[in-house]
Structure 1
Amino acid sequence: MSPSLYTLIEASLPQDRTRTAIEAPDRSRGPRIWSFNDLLATAARYAALFARLGLARGDRVALQVEKSPEALAVYLACLRGGFVFLPMNMAYRADEVDYLVGNAEPSLVICDPSVETSLKEICTRRGTPHLLTLDWEAGGSFVDAAAGVAEYDEPAACSADDLAAILYTSGTTGKPKGAMLTHGNLAANGVALRDAWRFTEADVLLHALPIFHAHGLFVACHCALLSGAKMIWLRKFDREDVIRELPRATTFMGVPTFYTRLLSGDDFCREPVAHMRLFTSGSAPLLAETFEEFRARTGHAILERYGMTETGMNASNPYDGERRPGTVGFPLPGVELRVMSDEGAPLAAGEVGGLQVRGANVFRGYWRMPEKSAEEFTEDGWFRTGDVAMIDADGYVHLVGRAKDLIISGGFNVYPKEIEELIDDMPEVLESAVVGVPHADFGEAGAAVVVLRHGFLLDEATLIARLKDKVANYKVPKRAFFVESLPRNTMGKVQKNLLRETWRGACEGG
Structure 2
Amino acid sequence: SHRALMANGSALNQLWGFSQSDILLHTLPMFHVHGLFVAMHCAILSAAEVIFLEKFSVSETIDNLARATVFMGVPTYYSRLLSRDDFTKDICSGMRLFTSGSAPLTEQTHHAFHSRTGHKILERYGMTEAGIITSNPLHGDRIPGSVGFALPGVQMRISDDGRECDSGEVGIVEVAGNHLFNGYWQKPKETAEVLRDDGFLVTGDIGVMDEDGRLRLKGRNTDLIISGGENIYPKEIELHLDDIECVAESAVIGILDDDLGEKVVAVIVPNGIFLERKVKEALKNQVADFKVPSQFIIVEELPRNSMGKIQKSKLRDAYNEQAS
TM-score band (shorter)?
0.7 to 0.9
Cα pair 1:279 1:301 within 8 Å, conserved: yes
2:53 maps to 234
Match for residue 317 of structure 1 among 136, 150, 172: 136
- Counterpart in 2 of 1:495? 262
Is 1:506 aligned to residue 298 of structure 2?
yes
Cα contact 1:256–1:443 (8 A) shared by 2: no
Q: Unpaired segments of 5 or more residues in structure 1?
A: 1-181, 407-434, 450-485
2:213 to 383, 390, 395: 395
Partner residue, 2:16: 197
- Alignment length (residue pairs): 261
Distance (whole Å) between structure 2 residues aligned to residue 277 and residue 396 of structure 1: 23
- Answering whether residue 8 of structure 2 is matched by residue 184 of structure 1, we say no
Residue of structure 1 in register with 2:109 after alignment: 290
Q: Over alpha carbons, which structure has the higher Rg?
A: 1
**Range moving further from structure 2, 345-354 or 242-251:** 345-354
Supply the distance in 1 between the matched residues of 2:196 and 2:223 (Cα, whole angstroms): 21
Residue of structure 1 aligned with 2:64, choices 245, 260, 264:
245
Distance in 1 (CA, whole Å) between partners of 2:42 and 2:248 is 26
**Aligned residues of 2:253 and 2:265 also touching (Cα < 8 A):** no
Counterpart of 2:203 (choices 385, 388, 394) is 385
Distance in structure 1 (CA, Å) of the matches to 2:252 and 2:168: 30
CA distance in 1 between counterparts of 2:128 and 2:250 reads: 19
Q: What's the counterpart of residue 425 of structure 1?
A: none
Contact 1:257-1:443 at 8 Å conserved across structures:
no
Alpha-carbon separation, structure 2, partners of 1:443 and 1:228: 39
Cα distance change of structure 1 residues 217 and 444 upon mapping to structure 2, 3 Å threshold: farther
Matched, 1:307 2:99: no
SS in 1 for 2:35: helix
User: 1:278 maps to which residue?
Assistant: 97
Q: How many Å separate the matches in 2 of 1:405 and 1:488?
A: 19
- Residues of 1 paired with 2:55 and 2:250: CA distance? 20
- 32, 55, 80: which one pairs with 1:213? 32
Residue 81 of structure 2 is aligned to residue 262 of structure 1? yes
1:400 Cα shift?
1.0
d(CA) in 2 for partners of 1:290 and 1:384?
Answer: 29
Output the amino acid matched with 2:103.
A
Match of 2:164 in 1: 346
2:176 aligned partner:
358
Residue correspondence of structure 1 range 130-209 to structure 2 within 5 A: 182-209=1-28
- Alpha-carbon distance in structure 2 between the residues aligned to 1:367 and 1:264: 42
Contact 2:263 2:294 in 1 (8 A): no
| Partner SS, residue 404 of structure 1 | helix
Query: Hey, what's the Cα distance between the residues in 2 that align with 1:338 and 1:447?
Result: 27
Residues 351-371 of structure 1: CA distance to partner in whole angstroms, max 9, x if unpaired?
Answer: 111110001111111111111
Please give the residue correspondences for 1:377-456 in structure 2 after superposition, counting only pairs within 5 Å: 377-405=195-223
* Structure-1 separation of matches of 2:248 and 2:198: 38
Whether contact under 8 Å (1:336, 1:359) holds in the other structure is yes
Partner of 2:153: 334
SS in 2 for 1:333: coil
Listed one character per residue, the Cα deviations across residues 2-53 of structure 1 (whole Å, up to 9, x for unaligned) are xxxxxxxxxxxxxxxxxxxxxxxxxxxxxxxxxxxxxxxxxxxxxxxxxxxx
Alpha-carbon distance between aligned partners in 1 of 2:221 and 2:253, rounded to the nearest angstrom = 18
Distance 1:312 1:271, change over 3 A: same
SS of equivalent residue, structure 1 residue 387: strand
CA contact (8 A) 2:149 2:215 kept: yes
With the length of structure 2 as denominator, give the TM-score of the two structures: 0.74
Look up the SS of the partner of 1:313 in the other structure.
strand
Unaligned runs of 5+ in 2: 225-233, 268-292, 303-324
Find the counterpart in structure 2 of residue 133 from structure 1.
none
Give the match's secondary structure for 2:257.
coil
Deviation at 1:442, TM superposition (A): 11
CA distance in 2, matches of 1:248, 1:206: 8
SS at match of 2:199: coil
Map 1:113-128 to 2 at 5 A: none
The alignment's C-alpha RMSD in Å is: 2.7
Identity across matched positions, percent: 48
Listed one character per residue, the Cα deviations across residues 371-428 of structure 1 (whole Å, up to 9, x for unaligned) are 111111222221100011001112110001210239xxxxxxxxxxxxxxxxxxxxxx
SS of residue in 2 equivalent to 1:306? strand
Q: Distance in 1 between matches of 2:39 and 2:296?
A: 33
> What is the SS of the residue equivalent to 2:4?
helix
Partner of 1:224: 43
**Given the two structures, how large is their TM-score scaled by the length of structure 1?**
0.48
1:503–1:310: structure 2 CA closer, same or farther, 3 Å change rule? farther
- Could you tell me how far 1:497 is from its partner in structure 2? 4.0
- CA separation of 1:184/1:444 partners in 2, compared to 1, >3 Å: closer, same or farther? farther
- d(CA) in 1 for partners of 2:195, 2:211: 27
Q: Deviations over 1:298-354 (max 9, x none)?
A: 000000000011111000000010000000000001111101112x11111111111
